[in-house]
């Protein structure tokens, strides 16, 4: 009698602090992360929205201008031009990177000697900073001493062509750099996808007499659809933010030929001190990213049965 | 007949693979080649692929053009602090989301995931203003803290902690261990594989960061490696031999980490898919 009473009391005393502790503990656990998130992400998001309703050039106090900033940005030819350049970059990036990555993944999915080494070599550019590789590429594309011109001259190109200095051509090395740097990472994602396809599916196809091409077209590709959607979404978001390589290789030039949307925001905010306009352009960029993601999820998501 | 064809296709595949990986790796070879060339060979057309008179002078002179000792110290300090903080905060939060049911846990988790939609490029102007307000421009704090809270880290750690059986925690609770002790002495040591993945990605992201230093850093003593490299070029003329030498040095730490943890890199990508 007393024994159970004692036991009850003991467990009561021992557990109570624990139970009340459990209620507070998870909040303490997430607190540091949430605090930093709040300060460095959520406050700036609200701030960027508020800022875009103001005209503010640092030298004079901010002035509330309603939606005029949004309207003015839409009237800026350079805003549209940089959006167009970014869209062109994104399309080029996706169009080349995804098929190349699927091809590489198919090649390296087989059991062959040295595939870890090959994977490592192809993946390596992704690990290195964009600044570093953009500098190397800029040097390779140098007009007088660049190795690219030397290699091109071997196949009949003119020897001292200044590709990065040509407004019509400068965007292509920038696209190529993005594809080259990220294809390895995308390949690894597809490799994970390929390994998720059970061997029995291929066996069934073989028994039905499907050749390698048919197997790829009717089996592998459809089964890769969910992962392709995933790659499509993150690659679009990632490549829309293109900044570092343009900043290094051409700094938006020649003229404004390779200026991207993030470059535009950077220029408005940090070079022309037009903080309101920079914020407005950021808002537009956010709207674009959001709607592209939603459209891709809706459109391709249904097809992939992936909602 | 069939084996013959297989052999040919296998040989062709190796040829294709060797061609692709050589082409992929070529820019790095070109960097190394340029770094060891004397100026007369760097600025020579047509170029040599292999330096005729290899020299170390690019490394020696290049190192003194900017305060590279300081630059490497800065970058290492920022990277290590940020990686440790980021991994620690992410595992705390990830553990809470995996193993506790508390009021608002769904809301907070969705809030964290939603920040994946908001890249730093969108908020760089207010972050700059905010850092200015609290006096963190041109400081180490200003380079460290904006990058610590990574949504992807919380997500990764939550997924990992979910695989740890809850009974383990309950047993420790019955033994009278406090929640914090359970986390530090039992849970965190079990999370080493996930922490490794997280730390590698954080290291990579921090070492390679460019936009944040570009906005925050004002003086030479606070330069980071990527910003330093970008400032190495002159307005009119650049010594590419020296720049490639410094670029080569800047890649070495990343290369070591990559070679040592290649498996984790690949595993990390298939775990989360994202990052970058």
What's the complex ipTM?
Answer: 0.89
For B229, the closest of A25, A125, A132 (CB atoms) is A132
The pair phi, psi for residue A55, each rounded to 5°, is -100, 120
CATH of the domain at B89: 1.10.3720.10
Residue B95 and residue B34 share a domain: no
A33 plus A98 within the same structural domain: no
Q: What is the pLDDT of residue B178?
A: 83
A16 in the same domain as A105: no
User: Is B234's Cβ below 8 Å from some Cβ in A?
Assistant: no
Q: Residue B245 falls within a domain, yes or no? A: yes
Host domain of residue A293: 77-303
Q: How confident is the model at residue A294 (pLDDT cuts 50, 70, 90)?
A: confident
Interchain proximity A112–B42, CB inside 8 Å? no
B270–chain A Cβ distance below 8 A for any pair = yes
Asked whether residue B152 falls in the same domain as residue B253, the answer is yes
Find chain A residues with C-beta within 8 A of B40's C-beta.
none
pLDDT in the model for residue A158: 62
Residues A65-108 pLDDT 10s: 888 888 888 888 999 999 999 999 999 999 999 999 999 998 88
Whether residue B1 lies inside any domain: the answer is no
Same domain, B221 and B259: yes
Residues A132 and A185 grouped into a single domain: yes
Q: Based on the domain organization, do B184 and B231 belong to the same domain?
A: yes
A228 and A128 in a single domain? The answer is yes
Residues 73-92, chain B, touching A (beta carbon < 8 A)? 89-90, 92
Number of CB atoms found within 10 A of residue B253's CB: 16
Whether A72 maps to a domain, the answer reads: no
- The reported pLDDT for the residue numbered B5 is 53
Substitution target from A17, A18, A26 for chain B, most B beta carbons within 10 A: A26
From chain A, pick out residues whose CB is under 8 angstroms from the CB of B250: 129, 132
Q: What per-residue confidence (pLDDT) applies to B272?
A: 53
The answer as to whether A57 is a domain residue is no
A70 found inside a domain: no
Domain check: are B30 and B129 in the same one? no
Q: Please give the tally of structural domains in chain B.
A: 2
Q: Is residue A140 part of a domain?
A: yes
Secondary element (H or E) of residue A63: strand A63-64
Rounded percentage of chain B residues whose pLDDT exceeds 70? 92
Total tally of structural domains belonging to chain A? 2
Residue A288, domain member (yes or no):
yes
Question: What would the pLDDT profile of A252-276 be if each residue is shown by its tens digit?
Answer: 878 898 999 999 999 988 998 888 8
- Assigned domain for B78 exists: yes
Q: Which residues of A touch B207 (CB under 8 A)?
A: 129
Instruction: Looking at the structure, tell me whether residues B107 and B194 fall in a common domain.
Output: yes
Nearest residue in A to B108, CA atom: A34
Same domain, A19 and A133: no
Lowest mean pLDDT segment, chosen from A20-29, A226-235, B152-161, B181-190: A20-29
Q: How far is A244 from chain B (nearest CA, A)?
A: 7
On average, the pLDDT of chain A sits at: 84
The whole-number pLDDT of residue B42 equals 78
For residue A54, what are the β-bridge partners? A64
pLDDT in tens, A146-191: 888 788 777 766 666 788 888 888 899 999 999 999 999 999 889 8
Q: Does residue A62 lie in a domain region?
A: no
- Candidates A231, A238, A256; CA nearest to A246 is A256
Same domain, B49 and B72: no
Residues B80 and B40 in one domain: no
Same domain, A113 and A41: no
Range of the domain at B30: 25-55
Lowest mean pLDDT among A218-222, A230-234, B272-276: B272-276
Size of interface A-B (CB pairs under 8 A): 246
Least confident of A88-97, A131-140, B45-54, B217-226: B45-54
Reply yes or no on whether the pLDDT at A307 is more than 50.
Answer: no
Q: Given a cut of 80, is residue B152 above it in pLDDT?
A: yes
Q: Where are the alpha helices (DSSP H) in chain B?
A: 2-35, 39-42, 57-65, 68-99, 105-114, 120-133, 140-144, 151-162, 166-174, 179-181, 188-190, 192-207, 211-216, 225-232, 240-260, 262-272
Give the whole-angstrom CA distance, residue A140 versus residue A151. 10
CA distance A232 to chain B (A): 12
Cβ within 8 Å, pair B92-A230: no
Per-residue pLDDT at A18 exceeds 70: no
* Residues of A in Cβ contact (< 8 Å) with B174: none
Residues of A in contact with B117 (CB under 8 A): 237, 286, 289-290, 293
User: Same domain for B81 and B218?
Assistant: yes
How close, in Å, is residue A144 to chain B by CA atoms? 7
User: Mutate which of B16, B21, B41, B158 to disrupt the A interface (most A C-beta within 10 Å)?
Assistant: B21
Residue B205 has pLDDT above 70, yes or no: yes
Omega prior to A254 cis, within 30 of 0 = yes
Q: What is the pLDDT of residue B269?
A: 58
For residue A135, list chain B residues with Cβ-Cβ distance below 8 A: 229-230, 233, 243-244, 247
Residue A56 belongs to a domain:
no
How far is CA A125 from each of CA A177, B18, B208, B244, B255, rounded to the nearest angstrom?
A: 10, 16, 12, 16, 10
Residue B9 lies in a domain: no
Residue of A nearest to B266 (CA): A188
Which residues of A fall within a CB distance of 8 Å from B123? 41, 44-45, 47-48, 282
| Same domain, yes or no: A147 and A187 | yes
What b-and-e string marks burial along B48-72, b requiring 16 or more CB atoms within 10 Å of the CB? eeebeeebeebbeebbeebebeebb
Report if residue A63 sits inside a domain. no
Residues A133 and A39 in one domain: no
- Note whether residue B16 is domain-resident: no
- Does B266 score more than 70 pLDDT? no
pLDDT score for B85: 94
Judge whether B12 lies within some domain: no
Residue B206 lies in a domain: yes
Tell me the CATH number at A128. Answer: 1.10.3720.10
Determine, for residues A269 and B31 on separate chains, whether the beta-carbon distance falls below 8 Å: no
Clarify whether residues A14 and A105 are in a common domain.
no
Q: Which helix (H) or strand (E) is A4 found in, with range?
A: helix A2-37
A13 shares its domain with A90: no
Flag if A36 and B148 touch (Cβ within 8 Å).
yes
């Amino acid at each position: 009698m007393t024994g159970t009473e004692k036991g009850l009391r003991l467990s009561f005393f021992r557990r109570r602090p624990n139970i009340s502790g459990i209620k507070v503990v998870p909040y303490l656990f997430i607190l540091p992360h949430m605090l930093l998130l709040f300060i460095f992400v959520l406050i700036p998001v609200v701030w960027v929205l508020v800022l875009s309703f103001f005209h503010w050039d640092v030298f004079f106090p901010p002035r509330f201008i309603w939606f005029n900033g949004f309207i003015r940005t839409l009237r800026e030819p350079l805003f549209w031009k940089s959006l167009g350049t970014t869209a062109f970059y994104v399309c080029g990036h996706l169009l080349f990177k995804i098929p190349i990555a699927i091809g590489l993944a198919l090649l390296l999915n087989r059991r062959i000697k040295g595939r870890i080494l090959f994977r490592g070599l192809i993946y390596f550019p992704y690990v290195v900073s964009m600044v570093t590789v953009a500098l190397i590429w800029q040097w390779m594309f140098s007009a007088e001493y660049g190795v690219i011109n030397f290699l091109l001259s071997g196949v009949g190109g003119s020897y001292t062509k200044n590709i990065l200095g040509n407004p019509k051509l400068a965007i292509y090395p920038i696209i190529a750099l993005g594809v080259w740097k990220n294809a390895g990472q995308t390949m690894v994602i597809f490799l994970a996808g390929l390994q998720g396809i059970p061997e029995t599916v291929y066996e069934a196809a073989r028994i039905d007499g499907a050749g390698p091409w048919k197997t790829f077209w009717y089996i592998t590709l459809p089964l890769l659809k969910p992962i392709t959607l995933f790659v499509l979404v993150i690659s679009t978001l990632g490549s829309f933010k293109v900044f570092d390589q343009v900043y290094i290789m051409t700094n938006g030039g020649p003229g404004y030929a390779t200026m991207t949307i993030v470059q535009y925001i950077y220029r408005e905010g940090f070079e022309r001190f037009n903080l309101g306009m920079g914020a407005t352009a950021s808002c537009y960029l956010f709207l674009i990213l959001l709607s592209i993601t939603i459209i891709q999820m809706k459109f391709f998501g249904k097809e992939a049965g992936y909602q | 007949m069939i084996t013959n064809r297989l052999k040919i296709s296998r040989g062709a595949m190796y040829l294709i693979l060797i061609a692709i990986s050589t082409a992929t790796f070529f820019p790095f070879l070109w960097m190394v080649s340029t770094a060891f060339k004397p100026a007369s060979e760097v600025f020579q057309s047509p170029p040599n692929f292999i330096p005729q008179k290899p020299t170390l002078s690019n490394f020696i002179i290049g190192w003194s053009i900017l305060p590279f000792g300081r630059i490497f110290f800065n970058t290492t300090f920022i990277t290590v602090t940020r990686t440790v903080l980021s991994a620690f905060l992410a595992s705390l939060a990830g553990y809470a989301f995996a193993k506790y049911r508390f009021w608002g846990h769904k809301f907070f988790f969705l809030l964290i995931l939603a920040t994946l939609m908001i890249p730093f490029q969108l908020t760089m102007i207010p972050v700059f203003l905010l850092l200015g307000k609290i006096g963190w421009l041109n400081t180490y704090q200003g380079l460290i803290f904006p990058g610590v809270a990574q949504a992807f880290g919380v997500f990764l750690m939550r997924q990992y902690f979910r695989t740890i059986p809850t009974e383990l925690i309950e047993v420790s609770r019955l033994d009278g261990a406090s929640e914090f002790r359970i986390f530090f002495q039992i849970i965190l040591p079990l999370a080493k594989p996930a922490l490794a993945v997280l730390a590698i990605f954080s290291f990579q992201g921090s070492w390679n960061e460019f936009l944040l230093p570009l906005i925050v850093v004002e003086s030479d003593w606070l330069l980071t490696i990527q910003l330093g490299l970008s400032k190495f070029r002159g307005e009119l003329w650049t010594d590419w031999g020296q720049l490639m030498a410094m670029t080569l040095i800047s890649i070495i730490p990343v290369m070591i980490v990559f070679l040592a943890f290649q498996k984790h890199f690949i595993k990390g990508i298939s775990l989360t898919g994202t990052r970058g």
